[in-house]
Structure 1
Amino acid sequence: MATEKLALHVPSLEELCTVLQNGLQESFASVQVSVVECPDLTQHPFSFPVKGICGHPRITDVGGVPYLIPLAQIDKVYNMNTVAKEIEMPGAFILGAAAASSKSLGINAELIPLIWTENKDRCTVNSSYYSTVNMKDQTCVLGKYSDKFSDCDIALLGNLYACQGNPGKVVQIMATKRTGEYSLVTAMRKTLEKQYEKPVAMGGTFIIQKGKAKIHIMPPEFSVCPLNTDDDVNNWLKYFEVSAPLICQSVLVSKDPGLDLRVEHTHCFSHHGEGGHYYIDTTPESVEYLGYFLPAEFLYRIDRPKETHQIGRE
């Protein structure tokens, strides 16, 4: 499993606040970006296994969409403890967006990873969620991973943010009433892309406090017919409108430096049974966001597909 490493441009938190404040004002009626102490993420509604998202932050793009599309390569499975070692941080806390391992679940599903990987003093703590579709009534099924499964695998693809799970200073983003065409994550990414020549990456978590959002969930069965176009993919995926509060985990990078990256990816869970792959809010007039992010110091590209394409990366 080949791993490539890239040092990223890391602006100061104060500089990022100014840049994001100015950029997000083009997409939201009210924006406040500031440096704050990370809240205790072990508390509701996050319920993470660690207190914060600080401590040598880094991101990794594992596998990729070409392992899912046009046909799924189900043998592409990645253990998160191994991933932590590949990114030179055994014991890391890892969050983000990934596909669940069908070898573990028996079905295809979205994964919302929240994993405190093992070290010499501690076993793995897996607080992840998974999301699938009940094909009988076409409803969303969200489950706590550790309630049914004991591994810490992901499959096919993953966009992950890793850190030591410490408290510390973070960038807080409060935004309400979306006025632009972009989601919060896309607006952040495009702002960074416009401002910086070198790649800047961020990861973290945000809550959709009010409003609704569009998500997709992959069906429980992989497509037996090749998905050769974006229309094929869209017809295969199942779409839902879900309600706040939603707790989202996001990874974004301002631009691809030639590593075949997925430049943004966000999954969400809730405490009322809804979750999946987040696109954008569907209630721009009433939506309220509250997020906590940090810039990553390094990017790791793990098991980059040799044959690639740009289908299905929205």
Structure 2
Amino acid sequence: MPTSLVEITETEMFVPESEALAKRLQDGLRQHFAEATVEWVNCPDLTQEPFNLAASGLCGDAVLLEIGSISQLFPRPRVMFNYHFKDILKELYNNYNNVLVIGAGIGLRQSNQQLGELFVNASFSGSRATGNSLKLKNQSRLAFLDQATGKCALESITDNCNLACYPHGNFFISEGKPGKVLKVQAKNCTGLHFLTAMQCTLSQYSVDITPKLVGLGGTFVMKNGRARHHVMPYSWNDKLKTARNIHNWLHYCDLDAPLIAVGTLISDSSYYEKSCQRAGKNGYGLTQSHFHAYSSNRVGGHFHTEIQPTNAEYLGYFHPAKMFYHMDPQPRYDGLQDFTDIMLYW
């Protein structure tokens, strides 16, 4: 299946002043959690437990990448469009001596061509300047519905030659260096759940006097509690034409902490859409929050929300991005922008 790099839009992101961003996030989280702190700290070594990332930090030339949209999945997935990260980095990243890619997307099981929830955790080394090919350290995973058991399952992706995303995904790309990062702690949810509270707080930047596009990427551990996830069934339904249809089709599973997640958050897509329109380009709605998670019990999926709010406890490390790339932008599918919209039908 050939890689298709049809169209790429590039939008400069607003990087708020460090302490102002931390205070805004902390104030926002404290409206929805009994305890919440956000501060800038020296990034711990994220290659260690519990995060086990493929690089030690999140700093250095950080950007966000969205591939397609969920409209490329419905009513049937366009699996002929696959995106190899080595090709993407050559297209987007000028200097890639060392690159960390983390995030959430759609993956394909090679054994039976079944789609699953892709947890990307990979580092690349090499330089275009020297003509060396990129070397891949791949610690990614794929969550899927096991046809034999009817339950959620997880497998490691051990291919150190290639890593690809199928029709949709959201990724944080950086040099994986140590440096200052946002440390986010929250405990005992009393209102909006963790990711919604974070995203809604960021969305304030899109309604300020001068609206801006702000985005974060990173990783968090749900230290305590229980969270709802989904994986896609192993058989496709040609009648997936509305958000309600998709909700009824997805397979939900409730997973116990500890859970490790990676992904991205953006403030709002309205600024992006308008800036693309002014440039004469297609700028369709963006996925505002996209995280995939897994546990040591070999289960995982698309992270939605805690289902035991008073027990929920989070620790996360995030970094703002300076650039946003959208590869092969697509219009919304029946008004459905991302998977958070299906939560209306729970």
* Secondary structure at 1:117 match in 2: strand
Q: Which residue of structure 1 lines up, in the alignment, with residue 8 of structure 2?
A: 3
CA distance in 2, matches of 1:304, 1:272: 36
| Equivalent runs, 1:26-175 vs 2, <5 Å | 26-89=31-94, 90=96, 91-101=98-108, 106-120=113-127, 123-146=135-158, 151-175=162-186
2:339 aligned with 1:313, yes or no?
yes
* Secondary structure at 1:31 match in 2: strand
Counterpart AA for 2:202: L
Q: Contact 1:77–1:156 (CA<8 Å) still a contact in 2?
A: yes
Q: Aligned-residue CA RMSD in angstroms?
A: 1.8
Q: Deviations over 1:43-102 (max 9, x none)?
A: 111111110111111101111111101111110100011122233253521111000035
Q: Deviations over 1:203-245 (max 9, x none)?
A: 100000011100000112333x131111110111100000111
Unaligned runs of 5+ in 2: 274-282, 341-346
Report percent identity of matched pairs.
30
Q: Which residue of structure 1 lines up, in the alignment, with residue 262 of structure 2?
A: 249
CA distance in 2, matches of 1:27, 1:100: 33
2:226 to 194, 202, 212: 212
* Secondary structure at 1:174 match in 2: strand
Counterpart AA for 1:188: M
* Secondary structure at 1:54 match in 2: coil
Give the TM-score normalised by the residue count of structure 1: 0.94
Cα offset, 1:149, TM superposition: 8.1
Counterpart AA for 1:113: V
Q: Deviations over 1:277-304 (max 9, x none)?
A: 0001111111110000111100001111
CA distance in 1, matches of 2:56, 2:47: 5
Q: Contact 2:205–2:213 (CA<8 Å) still a contact in 1?
A: no
Q: Contact 2:224–2:313 (CA<8 Å) still a contact in 1?
A: yes
* Secondary structure at 1:278 match in 2: strand
Q: Deviations over 1:170-217 (max 9, x none)?
A: 01010000000x221111111111244211111100000011100000
Cα offset, 1:136, TM superposition: 3.3
Counterpart AA for 1:244: A
Q: Contact 1:77–1:101 (CA<8 Å) still a contact in 2?
A: no
Unaligned runs of 5+ in 1: none
Counterpart AA for 2:246: V
Q: Which residue of structure 1 lines up, in the alignment, with residue 278 of structure 2?
A: none
Cα offset, 1:118, TM superposition: 4.3
Q: Contact 1:253–1:264 (CA<8 Å) still a contact in 2?
A: yes
Stretches (4+) displaced over 6 A = none
Q: Contact 1:13–1:170 (CA<8 Å) still a contact in 2?
A: no
In structure 2, do the counterparts of structure 1 residues 84 and 105 end up closer, same or farther at CA, with 3 Å as the change threshold? Answer: farther
2:243 aligned with 1:230, yes or no?
yes
Q: Which moved more, 1:255-264 or 1:164-173?
A: 255-264
Q: Which moved more, 1:46-55 or 1:135-144?
A: 135-144
Give the TM-score normalised by the residue count of structure 2: 0.85
Q: Deviations over 1:86-126 (max 9, x none)?
A: 33253521111000035676211110011213424651111
Q: Which residue of structure 2 lines up, in the alignment, with residue 289 of structure 1?
A: 314
In structure 2, do the counterparts of structure 1 residues 149 and 220 end up closer, same or farther at CA, with 3 Å as the change threshold? Answer: farther
Q: Contact 1:209–1:289 (CA<8 Å) still a contact in 2?
A: yes
1:301 to 323, 326, 341: 326
